[in-house]
Chains A and B, each alone.
Chain A
Amino acid sequence: MVLPKFQYHEPKNLGEACEIIAGLKENARPLAGGTDLLVNMKKGSISPKHVISLSKLEELKVLGIKNKHLNIGSCVTAAELAESTIVQHDFGALCAGAGNLGSPLIRNLATIGGNLISARPAADLPPSLMAYGGKAVLVKKGGQRSVDLKAFFKGLGETVAEPDEILSHIHLDMPPSYSGGGYMKLGKRNALEISIVNVAAFIALDSPDGAIRDVRIVLGSVGPVPLRAENAEKTLKGEVPGPSLFIKAGEAASRECKPIDDFRGSAWYRREMVAELTRRALTMAFIEAKARELRRWK
């Protein structure tokens, strides 16, 4: 398969990249890992006249704690996320999503920014990033803005990012004490799989044995954009966590999603799986909350 013709740009820093894209807008596409963009270009579904490689922008490859939040450059790869100690210890749901994305070869190329901008309904990173209350930083010539990931996705393959904006960083608040996350992905095989259903959950407790203070549940593959299961969240808030409560929350999540029938699974099957995967993701989040506390005292 031959890539369509395009002009290649390789800016040396973010300022230069913004300058180039400001002049080209719709005719240009930023290239990060290439695992979606180049495939779509080969298939002929998009053919930008200009491709702006972000590979020389070192500022987009940072991964570290800054002002009490985790600052992730948009060009950090899925493999780097899955191997990062901070992500493994404090953002278990993100670690699981990144470690399950594509294949080992894809994970060495695919980036967190690309996974968000591609806005595929079954993408592995958006549910976890939304469950942690993440924010995306969009930069353009002469300005930048921060967008809550809850309001980032507009539809299938569509985000709020304007043609002259570059997704530069993702910010996640450091999870408070007694909190944890969980991610569950259901597919038919273990690699190179597009989820039938994927669910991320985050819970924060008042105290080690206390009630649920804060909770976010995000469902993937059941609509054009990842869905916050707000009714399920309501059944959990203020309650003491436990197996029967998590079952109730799973059932609530199942009722509030509207999946479609396709060759990967029927709508009925997806709803059933939302209930079970939500229960499991919440259980994982609860276990992680306990594990993080233990690590803190070690």
Chain B
Amino acid sequence: MKKTLICLKVNNKEYEVAVEPNKTLADLIRYDLGLTGTKKGCDMGECGSCTVILDGKPVNSCLVLALQAADREIQTVEGLESEEGLHPLQEAFVEHGAIQCGFCTSGMLLSAKDLLEKKPNPDEAEIRRAISGNLCRCTGYQKIVEAIGSAGERMTEKGGKS
């Protein structure tokens, strides 16, 4: 299969990669770029472990072709941390014990980040709806929901830093 050279920006870093048409964005991120924070669970768009933010919107990267990501901006869980340290959401997940096996965590964080950007002080129902495409098979939802709520509060106090 003929490979095509594409450019894309992942976590503010430019990449140039040659990809086959049948490669998904999830595989490109994990195997070509080595960013293994993005997980692959069902590979069918149902579990949300492959969630990335594509041009500002969280999507299942297993349902996007790598070629479709050409010239677009992607954020993965590796892009959450800044020079100042962990993202408030990551801090809150650690403090609330919202991580068990960790497989769903990167997707949960990115869906939550999108929610808090749209709605800094979500109620519980809004949080549950926002992460409804991310499955946690350890069933640690309660602590995840609490962590997202507390991160929202913390970010509002800090003046909406995300």
Chain A interfacial positions (CB closer than 8 Å to B):
1-8, 10, 31, 33-35, 38-39, 42, 51, 53, 55, 79, 102-106, 108-109, 190-192
Q: With the chains together, A109 CA to B20 CA distance in Å?
A: 21
Question: With A104-B58, A105-B111, A108-B59 in contact, is A191–B133 under 8 Å at CB?
Answer: yes
Contacts of A35 in B (CB 8 A): 45, 60, 63
Indicate whether B13 reaches chain A with its CB closer than 8 angstroms: no
CB pair A105 B51 closer than 8 Å:
yes
Please give the number of chain B residues whose Cβ is less than 8 angstroms from any Cβ of chain A in the complex. Answer: 31
Residue from B44, B57, B67, B132 within 8 A of A103 (CB atoms): B132
Q: With the chains together, A4 CA to B2 CA distance in Å?
A: 14
Q: With the chains together, A192 CA to B46 CA distance in Å?
A: 7
CB pair A8 B65 closer than 8 Å:
yes
Contacts of A39 in B (CB 8 A): 44-45, 63
The list of the 3 closest CB pairs from A to B, nearest first, reads: A103-B133, A191-B132, A8-B21
CB pair A104 B22 closer than 8 Å:
no
Q: With the chains together, A103 CA to B129 CA distance in Å?
A: 8
Contacts of A34 in B (CB 8 A): 63-65, 68
Residue from A4, A33, A190, A191 within 8 A of B22 (CB atoms): A4
B52 → chain A closest CB, angstroms: 10
Identify which of residues 38-91 in chain B touch chain A, using a CB-to-CB cut-off of 8 Å: 43-46, 48, 51, 54, 57-60, 63-65, 67-68
Indicate whether B1 reaches chain A with its CB closer than 8 angstroms: yes
Contacts of B43 in A (CB 8 A): 1, 42
A88 → chain B closest CB, angstroms: 16
Question: With A8-B21, A191-B133 in contact, is A109–B1 under 8 Å at CB?
Answer: no
Question: With A5-B1, A190-B132 in contact, is A105–B44 under 8 Å at CB?
Answer: no
Question: With A3-B22, A5-B22, A103-B132 in contact, is A108–B45 under 8 Å at CB?
Answer: no
A32 → chain B closest CB, angstroms: 11
Indicate whether B150 reaches chain A with its CB closer than 8 angstroms: no
Q: With the chains together, A5 CA to B133 CA distance in Å?
A: 28
Indicate whether B106 reaches chain A with its CB closer than 8 angstroms: no
CB pair B65 A105 closer than 8 Å:
no
New contact pairs (19) apart from A4-B22, A7-B21, A106-B133, CB-CB < 8 Å: A1-B43, A3-B23, A3-B24, A5-B20, A5-B22, A6-B22, A7-B2, A34-B63, A34-B68, A39-B44, A53-B68, A102-B45, A103-B132, A103-B133, A103-B134, A104-B111, A105-B45, A108-B58, A192-B132
Contacts of B24 in A (CB 8 A): 3, 38
CB pair A109 B64 closer than 8 Å:
yes
Contacts of A1 in B (CB 8 A): 43-44
CB pair B21 A51 closer than 8 Å:
yes
A198 → chain B closest CB, angstroms: 18
Q: Chain A CB within 10 Å — which of B45, B132, B133 has the most?
A: B45
Indicate whether B130 reaches chain A with its CB closer than 8 angstroms: yes
Query: Who on chain B is nearest to A109 by CB?
Result: B59
Query: Who on chain A is nearest to B68 by CB?
Result: A55
B74 → chain A closest CB, angstroms: 13
Q: With the chains together, A35 CA to B64 CA distance in Å?
A: 8
Q: With the chains together, A5 CA to B63 CA distance in Å?
A: 15
Contacts of A38 in B (CB 8 A): 24, 63, 65
